[in-house]
Chain A
Amino acid sequence: MSDVLGKILKARDLRSVLRKGVSESGQASLSLNLNIPGFPKSDDRIHSCFKQVLAELKRHLLSHRVLIDSKQEYCAVDAAGDFYLVPLFESTYSINEIKEISEKFEETHSLGRLLDVDITNSKGGPVSSGKAKLCYFCNEKPALVCMREQNHSYADIRQKIDKDIDRYLSEIRKAEVCKSLASSALKSLLHEVALSPKPGLVDRNSNGSHDDMDFSTFIDSASVLSVYFKEIAEYGFSYTNDDLKKALPELRRIGLLMEEDMFHETNGINTHKGAIFLLGFSLFVSAYLIAKRSFSYQTFVDLIKDLNGNLVERELGRKLYNESLTHGEVCFEKYGTKGQGIRGEIQAGLPSVFQHAIPVLESHLQNKQRTDDKILHKSLTHALLALIANNDDSNILYRKGVEVLDGLKQKANEAFLNFENEKFEILYKDLIHYCEKNHISPGGSADLLAVSYFIFTANKQHA
């Protein structure tokens, strides 16, 4: 007998002893293992697959109200592979019904026959449904026939298993990444609007320089936009075409839907148009890069530039519609480079975000495991000042002209430079007062703040 086979058989003996131990205490038990032929029966990838399946199985059992004695669970990896055993509490189900529930899990799972959930009754006997399961590899003959006849080569089976496990783990990763990105996108909008006080902008306590919207308008708008965040992330994660520009029509389609929903939700008020544009691209690019495990600030910038190319000339240089000019278009006509607004910012790879806001956020938040209102208030206020001080906000340019914009930037810069000292409160109040007096709102910087926080968070979680 080979040494390896001896070890596998010994590991099975141990499993049998453990099952017996449970039945001797009068309880039925449930176990999970993976049907991996050959040796080794586990490795890092198989093990992480097992852990995921186990978490799903436990959720499945709990949702069907099959109660496990989780204080006495046994989980180990040995020569026979990954193994989980747990005693079952008595329930209203018969042991055969529990077997049916566990078979439903096996049958509906994407890894199907690779999973083996066994039920042992309280007398120590295996509970069988008597069904002959089909072969994992060919799905034609009964599994046991293919096993004994060795119908499929070991290499072929292992290859299929590797492929299936890869697919399963990557589906799980996609779901986790997209969920976290979508949640970060909404968080960034909410934390931005909740930051109070802010110069000229809508916050918890003030409408700033706006008379057509307030805090609740932003909450409503952010809520309806959040519905699309996961969709954009999933599109980016699964995007495989090397030509990223081919993604633009679909991204615009989703963006237009978001705008329609936003206007519907806010009764025609533009709360988040800039944020839709920035966050939409950022979600797509982040998910795309994270899927390839190559997310970094640098790759992000490169892709944003690559994706948008000569956005300024393309969109501001000519009319998309023959209707009235947008604010951005008016500014570009009037002020040239200084009036390129958000399109110029995107085309340059978001320099305000990466050179000004993110370094500030990092200085406050990089080593923080958790954030709270106080630390967010401090870091976001600081980053907002960095943005206002450096951003040629085309909205202000459009409404008030270059002098008011430069005055705003200068006041923001003074507050920024004195952030940690005693003059700050006065300077910040002065900035707020300046916005009130001129009736201006640095909305473009607010959008950039949200996207900076989003990219910072994505980097922290996924770089």
Chain B
Amino acid sequence: MTPKFKAQAGTFESSDIMVLIEPVSEEAGRQIDISSTVMLQFEDDIKNTINQVLDDLDIQNVHLIAKDKGALTPTIKARVEAAVKRSLGIQEGTM
């Protein structure tokens, strides 16, 4: 599946993550940009978690921007999933 809309989920609260999704053309692949207050050492961790959610939801083409404020893995998963579903138009939410 490919995201159709711009969408976001999450907040800038402590221990949370803000996830923004921008639709890209088919065949564009995944582009994941992370800015984190957590040391760079966790960037790969966060990226792996995000990729895992995208794999599960079968999203191959997407531009995902994440601004992390120290979220734990379950929070990252929940926020990415919500953002993707909103971008697919299958979950209500604010933009």
Contact = CB atoms under 8 A, between A and B. Distances in A.
Specify the main secondary structure of chain A where it touches its partner: helix
A13 B39 contact: no
B79 A116 contact: no
Q: Which of B14, B42, B78 has the most CB of A within 10 A?
A: B14
B47 to A, nearest CB: 13
Contact of B14 (A1, A5, A116, A148): A116
B78 A1 contact: yes
Contact of B78 (A9, A35, A118, A147): A9
10 contacts: A1-B78, A5-B78, A6-B78, A9-B78, A16-B12, A17-B94, A126-B12, A147-B70, A148-B38, A148-B45
Specify the main secondary structure of chain B where it touches its partner: loop
A-B interface, 6 closest residue pairs, ranked by CB to CB distance from nearest: A16-B11, A144-B70, A1-B78, A12-B13, A144-B38, A12-B11
Interface residues of A, number: 24
B92 to A, nearest CB: 12
B74 A5 contact: yes
Given A1-B74, A12-B11, A15-B11, A145 B16 contact: no
B15 A147 contact: yes
Contact of B75 (A9, A35, A118, A143): A9
A148 B72 contact: yes
A148 B70 contact: yes
Interface in B1-57: 10-16, 37-39, 42, 45
Contacts of A116: 14
Q: Which of B11, B38, B78 has the most CB of A within 10 A?
A: B11
B77 interface: yes
Contacts of A1: 74, 77-78, 81
A2 B42 CA distance: 24
A142 interface: yes
Contacts of A33: 14
A118 B14 contact: yes
Nearest to B46: A148
